[in-house]
Chain A
Amino acid sequence: MRAAAASLVFLLALLPLAVSAQEPDPKPAPEPVAPSVEPSPQAASGAELPERIEIGLSTEIIAITSDFSGVELTIFGAVDNIDPLIQRQGRYDVAVILEGPTSNLVTRRKERVLGIWMNVDSQAFINVPESFLIASTRPPQDMTDLGTMARLSLGVEQIRLRSYEPDTADEADVLDFTQALRRLKEEGNLYEEFPAGVRFISQSLFRAQLRLPANVPLGRHTARAYLFRQGVLVAQTQSSLDIRKAGVEFQIYEAAQNRSLLYGMASVALAFLVGWLGRVMFRKD
């Protein structure tokens, strides 16, 4: 009985396989065998559980030490209840996005004034992700349609950069500032795409590899993973990752931020000490 059910699932799964296999073929496709006995999708989904995707970060905290110069971050994940046939055809796609904390930023543009280059115009942006790294099994435009890409921000071009007071500004100008912001972030490796960064290491296990740049923003990062079946989003999940400074640097940074008066006085005391020590050690006159 169970074997029969399994074979039924197998057969039903074969049909979409047959159709999809023809797509890359330029020759005219033969008529479907029996369009009248269309395999009911209800039957298929009734027999199968919906796909699920899960990701596991090897660590929830990444600590930046004094010699930090960027790191390769690997995120492992698993997909459940996948259709082995579709998987064998490579028609499941995974995209993993690691998005940094957001902040309000300003982009400024220099112009020549009386011969001197100075910042003249500027455009503020609200809730801009400080970093945005995306790894996927294929380039996102090959995985799904543009609408989905835009909706899920699947790609550096798709990151939503909201300008402040867009109504009062010149639209073309705002676009220039937006592109400049995106470009500067890309040049700093803070916005980056890894179009072959996700690999399936078994039927259901995948590995996403991203490179965190040396100047990765500190704070809470969100990891999002999307599973596409034949271009359609079927499952998603998210998890978080904290990036912190570690060791002495972290404590110094913390002190400068949260106990700034004490920090300032300690800096001055240190200066007095070093100045006095220098005098004492070299006193010959």
Chain B
Amino acid sequence: MALYLPIAEMSVNIFVLLGMGAAVGFLSGMFGVGGGFLITPLLIFYNIPPAVAVATGANQVVASSVSGVLSHFKRGTVDIKLGFMLLIGGIVGSSIGVWVFSLLRTLGQLDLIVSVLYVVFLGTVGGLMMLESVRAMMRSRAGGSVSLRRPGAHMWIHKLPFKMRFKASKLYVSVIPVLGLGTMIGVLASIMGVGGGFIMVPAMIYLLKVPTNVVIGTSLFQIIFVAAYTTVVHATTNRTVDVVLALLLMMGSVVGAQYGAKVGQRLRGEQLRALLAGLVLLVALRLGYALFVVPDEIYSVSREFLL
């Protein structure tokens, strides 16, 4: 069934998009991630203009994060204070990011930069995760216990001033890395159309030493607001949020996520991480390949430019 997207200005198949949402939702439920990093590249592969894909991806992330955070609130695995501090950084970062996004668009480099950022971040995160999970699998086979948290291993980050106490996370750290991390994620969120969970979660675990059980809930909590803010800013400055497209993706992903979560509970942590890493690497490879392959058409026409 064909549907006309009012902002992307193209006809799409309604079932393809619902299916795309459901597939990403399934995976995000299974792995406990927002899925923005899968939605945006998939939309680009489906010929949605990258500017629309990014802004609409941010909107979809709001829905999947709201859906995800509710169960974390119920279990009390959200550090609201930490989430709030990350959020302050996130708002600043998102504002910078949207500005950069507009600039890149007028320079004609947006599509390239979005692809490059995806390749770099997905490649790095996917590669590290793959290494870590393979090692963990080997260790657990050898009979050792697997723990992501290594308390006591203090780094330079923990020597910075302006320390703050985060009770739910049992942390006493400087706000500088917290705000810095939030800002960085905010910039990425607005340029890449992602929630940033795939960077936020490892960064919180390895850099801030946040306990694993509150990491996902806290990350989701702050992503909701950063993604919501990013959506509004994209809507007002670039006018590239396609609400019809977003609605289709949201409906698909929210349903898919419920089934994904059930499957995820049956898999073991290391296996799950290895699978996710494989998926992330696959998306990175596909996007990277497109950068090097000779394009069919070297000319393009655009309305966005600076005189």
Given contacts A69-B11, A117-B292, A260-B239, contact A268 B228 (CB under 8 A): yes
Is the beta-carbon distance between A180 and B63 smaller than 8 angstroms?
Answer: no
A67 contacts B4, CB within 8 Å? yes
- Known A-B contacts A164-B307, A260-B235, A272-B62; the reply to A66 vs B4 at CB < 8 A is yes
B258 within 8 A of A: yes
Selected from B239, B247, B255, the residue in CB contact (under 8 A) with A270 is B247
Known: A108-B302, A252-B244, A265-B232. A275 touches B65 (CB 8 A): yes
- A271 to chain B: which residues have CB within 8 Å? 59-60, 62-63, 66, 228, 231, 246, 250
**In the assembled complex, A279 has its CB within 8 A of some CB on chain B:** yes
Contact A122 B241, CB 8 Å, known A245-B6, A274-B247? no
Could you say which of A52-60, A79-87, A99-107, A222-230 contacts chain B?
A99-107
Residues of chain A lying within 8 A (CB to CB) of residue B71: 279, 285
B243–A263 CB distance below 8 A: yes
Please name the residue on chain B nearest to A277 by beta carbon: B254
Query: In the bound complex, do residue A109 and residue B299 qualify as a contact, i.e. CB atoms below 8 Å apart?
Result: yes
Q: Complex: how many Å from CA A122 to CA B304?
A: 12
CB-CB under 8 A for A118 and B112, given A276-B66, A278-B254: yes
Q: How far is the CA of A264 from the CA of B94 in the complex (A)?
A: 15
Bound: A107/B301 CA distance, A: 5
Chain A count of residues within 8 A CB distance of the other chain: 57
* A17 located at the interface, meaning its Cβ lies under 8 Å from any Cβ of chain B in the complex: no
A261 contacts the other chain (CB 8 A): yes
Contact of B255 among A67, A250, A278 (CB under 8 A): A278
Which A residues are in CB contact (< 8 Å) with B305?
Answer: 104, 106, 122, 124
| Contact-residue size bin, chain B (C-beta under 8 Å from the other chain) | 35 or more
- Given A119-B108, A119-B109, A124-B307, does the pair A264, B231 have CB atoms closer than 8 Å? yes
CB-CB under 8 A from B116, the residues of chain A are 116
Summed over the interface, the residue pairs from A and B with CB atoms below 8 Å come to a total of: 174
Q: Does any Cβ of A come within 8 Å of B207's Cβ?
A: no
User: What are the residues of chain B within 8 A of A265 when measuring CB–CB?
Assistant: 232
User: Does A115 have its Cβ within 8 Å of any Cβ on chain B?
Assistant: yes
What CA separation (Å) do A70 and B2 show in the bound complex? 14
A260–B307 CA distance with the chains assembled, in angstroms: 25
When C-beta atoms are compared, the residue in chain A nearest to B233 turns out to be A264
Residue B64 interfacial (CB < 8 Å) = yes
Contact (Cβ within 8 A) A108 B246: no
Additional A-B contact list (13), CB under 8 Å, known A110-B299, A260-B235: A68-B4, A105-B303, A108-B302, A117-B295, A119-B109, A181-B299, A252-B6, A264-B231, A264-B235, A268-B59, A268-B62, A271-B66, A275-B67
* Chain B interfacial positions (CB closer than 8 Å to A): 2-4, 6-7, 9-11, 59-60, 62-67, 70-71, 108-109, 112, 116, 228, 231-236, 239, 241, 243-244, 246-247, 250-251, 254-255, 257-258, 291-295, 297-305, 307
Q: List 24 A-B contacts (CB under 8 A).
A: A68-B4, A106-B302, A106-B304, A107-B300, A108-B302, A110-B295, A115-B292, A117-B292, A118-B112, A181-B299, A249-B4, A249-B6, A252-B7, A252-B244, A267-B231, A267-B243, A270-B63, A270-B243, A272-B228, A276-B70, A278-B63, A278-B254, A282-B255, A285-B71
